[in-house]
Chains A and B, each alone.
Chain A
């Protein structure tokens, strides 16, 4: 009986721990698009497809140009786990497969969040992500909502 109780406590503890980590990751980044983009929110699934180049056009027919942060970025790791449900290594493997089957090449990668913001500002169809705390008010970009 005591063993069972301990197990239940342990399981509850784990769930609390996981949801805490999950909540932390959710707050780590925000999605940005050009301010002229009429979209206000996107589902995680659609976002994942966009960042894997499985969807390439906005509703108005404009080309989507998504941009990633470099692979050692913490924000990219959080984005990858939250949106793709995989770590950056798995996503890199996906791109290597796309490259060496001749199908596609990875998204452009930016070294800093400022470069991401500038890229999105300069391209009407662009989409990127930056840390939640990064100020974007002085740029012509807007934040997209995430839906499940």
Chain B
């Protein structure tokens, strides 16, 4: 089967499979999701969204899960992602392996995963592309940097443990170790021709280890999270030996508050990055609030930023502190059924992420951009 036939089959599979019911009762289950969007921007292209609009914007995945018994489980998830005209598209395969892991459960309070596993990070990392579960098309850039300096999966091992599993205060930890890659892109000047071009590379994070902790409170729906990882970054654009950041170790922290109640939610995440070699740090914040106006219609607001702190001036002529990304957004969400959602959202950003502009000087004012996304999400 050639690549286009495979893609066609992949695109139609969610509609051909009637429901999960017939699979859920056997040891093999197949699940999937699809989000298809139309988006356009104003002022500058951002996140692959051009001013004249694109419908080449979608996320989909198929998950195959085999429960040999209630202890041994194998999960494989394949995905297809389109991000319009984003530079990261040059690194995207038509169909990618999201994750593939073996999980062994030890009773109800412990489990180990081996393989390509989801990076347990904050509220959204593991479900970052599952449109039906998200208040906006994308997860907040402030915390997750979707499409740049981010990974969804770790090649390695994780161990999950729950303390106080059966009491009101439950504490869980998922510790992991391994390696991953992330995509970097930049619009820069070719010194030979003095013309702008987009450089896209992949950097590696190796010898990484970290943990995501959650404290579940007696108030149903309220949990507090703390995540941390440490690793060595190399390669890509900035982390080469002679790159502006050089090969460096990095440590990243993230704090989360997730209050999800019937009919409303508040989610706040804040974090810090430390690049040890150049003594660069950054801070980020994302805050979301949502309220059901009717049983199947909700409105959500979002605010977030990503700031560099203590950034050396030789890096893109930067001042001490740079707000690299700042965003306010609002979305309307209509649940047609339990498995089908329509969203209309608008984002107002000031950032250095404009894809139709060169990044040569961080002391300049960030570019303003507005983008609107209309999306349809389903899952089975």
Residue count of chain B within 8 Å CB distance of chain A = 35
Q: Which of A1-9, A29-37, A93-101 contacts B (4 or more CB under 8 A)?
A: A93-101
B262 x A99 contact (CB < 8 A): no
> Interface residues of A toward B: which range?
20 to 34
B132 x A96 contact (CB < 8 A): yes
Identify which of B70, B118, B130 contacts A56 (C-beta below 8 A).
B70
- How far in angstroms is the closest Cβ of chain A from B37? 18
Complex Cα distance A71/B338, Å? Answer: 9
Residue B17 lies at the interface, judged by CB distance under 8 Å to chain A? no
- Mask of B31-42 contacts with A, CB within 8 angstroms, 1/0: 101000000000
Residue A85 lies at the interface, judged by CB distance under 8 Å to chain B? yes
A55 x B220 contact (CB < 8 A): no
Complex Cα distance A97/B117, Å? Answer: 16
The closest CB in chain B to the CB of A65 belongs to B70
Residue B77 lies at the interface, judged by CB distance under 8 Å to chain A? yes
- Mask of A83-114 contacts with B, CB within 8 angstroms, 1/0: 00111111011001101111001111100000
Neighbouring A residues of B67 by C-beta, 8 Å: 105
B70 x A63 contact (CB < 8 A): yes
Complex Cα distance A101/B261, Å? Answer: 20
A96 x B133 contact (CB < 8 A): yes
B21 x A109 contact (CB < 8 A): yes
Given contacts A102-B118, A108-B24, contact A85 B262 (CB under 8 A): yes
Complex Cα distance A134/B282, Å? Answer: 62
Neighbouring A residues of B220 by C-beta, 8 Å: 85
B65 x A102 contact (CB < 8 A): yes
Residue B188 lies at the interface, judged by CB distance under 8 Å to chain A? no
Neighbouring A residues of B65 by C-beta, 8 Å: 102, 105
Complex Cα distance A37/B277, Å? Answer: 63
Given contacts A56-B70, A89-B335, A106-B24, contact A101 B262 (CB under 8 A): no
A100 x B21 contact (CB < 8 A): no
A97 x B133 contact (CB < 8 A): yes
Neighbouring A residues of B165 by C-beta, 8 Å: 54
Neighbouring A residues of B68 by C-beta, 8 Å: none
Residue A57 lies at the interface, judged by CB distance under 8 Å to chain B? yes
- How far in angstroms is the closest Cβ of chain A from B264? 12
A108 x B99 contact (CB < 8 A): no
Neighbouring B residues of A109 by C-beta, 8 Å: 21, 24
The closest CB in chain B to the CB of A111 belongs to B21
Residue B75 lies at the interface, judged by CB distance under 8 Å to chain A? yes
Complex Cα distance A38/B165, Å? Answer: 24
Given contacts A96-B132, A97-B127, contact A105 B335 (CB under 8 A): no
B63 x A99 contact (CB < 8 A): yes
- How far in angstroms is the closest Cβ of chain B from A58? 13
The closest CB in chain B to the CB of A63 belongs to B70
Besides A70-B21, A102-B118, 20 other CB < 8 A contacts? Answer: A54-B165, A88-B338, A92-B338, A92-B339, A93-B132, A93-B338, A96-B379, A97-B133, A99-B31, A100-B31, A100-B126, A100-B133, A100-B379, A101-B127, A102-B65, A102-B117, A102-B126, A106-B24, A108-B25, A109-B21
Closest 10 CB pairs of A and B: A92-B338, A101-B126, A102-B75, A108-B25, A100-B130, A99-B31, A105-B29, A89-B338, A86-B262, A100-B127
Listed A/B pairs (7) with beta-carbon separation below 8 Å = A55-B166, A63-B70, A96-B132, A100-B33, A100-B133, A102-B63, A106-B24
